[in-house]
Chains A and B, each alone.
Chain A
């Protein structure tokens, strides 16, 4: 299974029997065991695996950048471009890094020196490796910034990283890694921290530059969609070992190893439908998935929000003068039928988290009212306001940060009961034990602290805490985006079966359209603080009407290597700042179909057929039908 396909060319990089160990106290424990992989010239190898699979560690050891005191390479040969890297001295290795092998990291926010200008950071590479003069280096830096299509590159040379958006910073990272035209580019989760539309742009850019420069690429990712889009060959890692390697089409069409098959089955894919329709999202541990159940009809309204808005004051300039406020959320109205799931979809900065916090009454709306389980909340103060929380609870994004580190699992789950329940301690104990059972945790774990649980288990605790009061509404803010794919599937299934059993209503906030399709009954798409489209799930996934929704769909990597989407160049366009919202339609600056009308007037959310609502002057224009209709009109 590990045999490489016969290839007459010599590999650019061949890693043989690589083992890496981590230090744990006084002992060294294996993190990567006897791993082999190679990269041919001009090839893209994707290394895919979940957290802890050893995928990043393997490439860091190729670069000789393992953290010195805590990790070491215990065996292995690394043949690169005719040289055995493991035998090189520190100085020789330093000369290869950045010159022959470039590297991009996951976090564009922290991977650039915050105190150094962009141009200087780029110029350093060629000054170091080619001995370029400051002037030449600066010129090359400018050329490279233009290459990665940073708008207004000349002025960006003197910018500091914090003045750039995440997507722009990742472009700078790519420019930096390619400054001295390395033979090999290692990209470690280069788009994980980015929004889906920006991810599409960055992946397209990497593919384009790779073709242009003939660079070989190792792309490390946990996202099978990214693999399908980018890879020539794929290596699947699990728990420090390579379990399978195959050309990309073969891997997706005929996965051999059970783990690869399980990974593919656990990944939600666009167009797969919802659990209510009997779709199954298989989990690696084989846990049962929820059975079919249609959405309940006419069971009343669990939550209603009308005209909700939030402005944040912003102080700048002389002596903290009040500048133009940011409108994080602007005129949002929602209705959540009992027993159903309303998903709110949008990219970072669209106001979805602010909206969630307003619904949770942790931040006060600047305007509008929220009605929870029939009770209006705007006029509630003090104790009455606190008691409303019996009817609405929340699951947070980060299962590591949202559980109190000094409380036991039992205390955490009991907290809402203690504050709002009015039960005696025996009843509390019984309820907590029942909930533990419901979310699939063993009663033996009741006394443990959060650090003793895995990410998935923590999210189970968080879910138990959210439903222990049997609330009408649970707001889940990106509840699975911090989890591995296999765990994500478990949590989604758990949420679905709980909804089925208890008749809960969910507000499910997410950036991931594939996840939303599995869990939601109604979907609202947010852009810059507004809902721009809202529709029943099936209608939205069948025919999105807003160009922004279409753009989101087109940005999701397909899980089919035969139907890649990002082969073409994608224009660099980014979300405008919420403090500087465009006039007229707020999407027009990114919309390829924008007209004068869009600049002049702001379209309201208007009802179309079948409960479909959209805020666009030209609904459906981004689909082929819509474009045909437009040309007829013209």
Chain B
């Protein structure tokens, strides 16, 4: 087991290195002069030169990479071109709303998606099952900003139940924070929840056809007991996999959701940085989100061992 853990953890390193290289070389691969591009069409030669020096663009790529990498190793993600504030400071200022939004969304999606999918799986082909499937394909298809505007229109503007915009920090009390994040979280979790429900349904249906479920029923165990004790743990691997996988979509959705709801988090920072071509911020956030995604999926991989005692065996064979 420990061998498996260590191997999985080591396997992540090349991926992270590749991400770092990719993020770094984004700028290198750009056609034309990156400094000109970042500065924009109206910039003076002096401004362009300043950017060039700041990003070490005047040096050979390898030197740039070394400088960037060593700064990265020291926790230095560069400074914003526009405001001159270190990117790490900006991230620290804005991480709370994003973290809270992401957590709330994951909790919502899992708490609704898993039971819904399981329920549908136990009644395959029934009206309820079809309804759940229809709802999930709809939730899966409505883009996050459409759902967001729909919710704002009905819940905030028409019914005045929840605020349409803004974020209340934790220092204002957890209740206020949750109140301000409820709509964005619902909007953001649509696709995610639908994915989880669909995968859960398919996984549970699959497991329910297994021979050992018939064995458990032949032992005189009730349907509900068999479902919860025998079926769900065996369906867990695809479910946790999609939960981890969906974090990617969630992090991308954060950019849109925070823009729509005017939440001062990392997503909004990313969106504005793109429009202003504040390259160090884009680099840092891309890297940060990728690292989060990789680590979450590492956790998911490691959790396989909890659900399936065979996993370390076949993983070791498959590698």
Question: Are A and B close enough to touch in the complex, i.e. CB under 8 Å?
Answer: yes
List residues of A whose CB falls within 8 A of some B CB: 63, 65, 69, 91, 94-99, 102-103, 105, 107, 110-116, 124-125, 128-129, 160, 162, 173, 176-177, 315-320
Pairs across A and B, CB under 8 Å, 28 listed? A63-B218, A69-B125, A94-B220, A96-B220, A98-B219, A98-B221, A99-B220, A103-B218, A105-B211, A105-B215, A105-B218, A111-B212, A111-B214, A114-B234, A115-B233, A124-B221, A125-B219, A128-B221, A160-B309, A173-B215, A315-B319, A317-B3, A318-B6, A319-B3, A319-B6, A320-B7, A320-B316, A320-B319
For A115, give its contact among B10, B125, B309 (CB under 8 Å).
Answer: B309
Q: Which of B219, B222, B310, B316 has the most CB of A within 10 A?
A: B219
Contact of A65 with B124 at beta-carbon distance under 8 Å, contacts A112-B212, A317-B3, A319-B3 already known = no
Assess whether A65 is in contact with B220, with CB atoms less than 8 Å apart: no
Q: Which of A94, A102, A129 has the most CB of B within 10 A?
A: A94
Indicate whether B307 reaches chain A with its CB closer than 8 angstroms: yes
User: What's the least CB distance linking A181 to chain B, in Å?
Assistant: 13
Indicate whether B313 reaches chain A with its CB closer than 8 angstroms: yes
Indicate whether B308 reaches chain A with its CB closer than 8 angstroms: yes
User: What's the least CB distance linking A119 to chain B, in Å?
Assistant: 14
Instruction: Give Cα distance in the complex from A601 to B49, angstroms.
Output: 84
For A95, give its contact among B2, B7, B220, B319 (CB under 8 Å).
Answer: B220
User: What's the least CB distance linking B241 to chain A, in Å?
Assistant: 16
Nearest 9 CB-CB pairings of A with B = A98-B220, A98-B219, A97-B220, A110-B211, A103-B218, A160-B309, A111-B211, A113-B212, A318-B3
Assess whether B310 is in contact with A160, with CB atoms less than 8 Å apart: yes
Assess whether B234 is in contact with A113, with CB atoms less than 8 Å apart: yes
Indicate whether B216 reaches chain A with its CB closer than 8 angstroms: yes
Determine the residue in chain A with the shortest Cβ distance to B317.
A315
Instruction: Give Cα distance in the complex from A128 to B222, angstroms.
Output: 9
List residues of B whose CB falls within 8 A of some A CB: 2-3, 6-7, 10, 124-125, 210-212, 214-222, 230, 233-234, 307-310, 313, 316-317, 319
For A316, give its contact among B214, B222, B234, B316 (CB under 8 Å).
Answer: B316
Q: Which of B124, B310, B317 has the most CB of A within 10 A?
A: B310
Instruction: Give Cα distance in the complex from A94 to B233, angstroms.
Output: 22
Instruction: Give Cα distance in the complex from A115 to B222, angstroms.
Output: 19
- With A111-B214, A124-B216 already in contact, 19 other A-B pairs whose C-beta atoms are closer than 8 Å: A65-B214, A65-B217, A98-B220, A98-B221, A105-B211, A105-B218, A113-B212, A113-B234, A114-B212, A114-B308, A114-B310, A115-B234, A129-B220, A160-B309, A173-B215, A177-B218, A315-B319, A317-B3, A320-B319
Assess whether B316 is in contact with A113, with CB atoms less than 8 Å apart: no
In the complex, chain B residues whose CB is within 8 Å of the CB of A315? 316-317, 319
Assess whether A114 is in contact with B214, with CB atoms less than 8 Å apart: no
For B230, give its contact among A94, A116, A128 (CB under 8 Å).
Answer: A116
State the majority secondary structure of interface residues on A.
mixed
Instruction: Give Cα distance in the complex from A286 to B4, angstroms.
Output: 58
Assess whether B220 is in contact with A125, with CB atoms less than 8 Å apart: yes
User: What's the least CB distance linking A617 to chain B, in Å?
Assistant: 37
Assess whether B215 is in contact with A112, with CB atoms less than 8 Å apart: yes
In the complex, chain A residues whose CB is within 8 Å of the CB of B217? 65, 97
User: What's the least CB distance linking B189 to chain A, in Å?
Assistant: 29
Assess whether B310 is in contact with A65, with CB atoms less than 8 Å apart: no
In the complex, chain A residues whose CB is within 8 Å of the CB of B309? 114-115, 160, 162
Contact of A97 with B214 at beta-carbon distance under 8 Å, contacts A113-B234, A318-B3, A320-B319 already known = no
Assess whether B6 is in contact with A97, with CB atoms less than 8 Å apart: no
In the complex, chain B residues whose CB is within 8 Å of the CB of A69? 124-125
Determine the residue in chain B with the shortest Cβ distance to A129.
B220
In the complex, chain A residues whose CB is within 8 Å of the CB of B210? 110
In the complex, chain B residues whose CB is within 8 Å of the CB of A320? 3, 7, 316, 319
Instruction: Give Cα distance in the complex from A91 to B2, angstroms.
Output: 45
In the complex, chain B residues whose CB is within 8 Å of the CB of A107? 211
Contact of A98 with B222 at beta-carbon distance under 8 Å, contacts A69-B125, A111-B212 already known = no
In the complex, chain A residues whose CB is within 8 Å of the CB of B308? 114-115
Instruction: Give Cα distance in the complex from A98 to B221, angstroms.
Output: 8
Instruction: Give Cα distance in the complex from A111 to B215, angstroms.
Output: 6
User: What's the least CB distance linking A508 to chain B, in Å?
Assistant: 31
In the complex, chain B residues whose CB is within 8 Å of the CB of A112? 212, 215
User: What's the least CB distance linking A297 to chain B, in Å?
Assistant: 48
Instruction: Give Cα distance in the complex from A176 to B222, angstroms.
Output: 17
In the complex, chain B residues whose CB is within 8 Å of the CB of A177? 218
User: What's the least CB distance linking A27 to chain B, in Å?
Assistant: 16
In the complex, chain A residues whose CB is within 8 Å of the CB of B313? 162
Assess whether B125 is in contact with A97, with CB atoms less than 8 Å apart: no
User: What's the least CB distance linking B319 to chain A, in Å?
Assistant: 7
In the complex, chain B residues whose CB is within 8 Å of the CB of A129? 220
Assess whether A162 is in contact with B310, with CB atoms less than 8 Å apart: yes
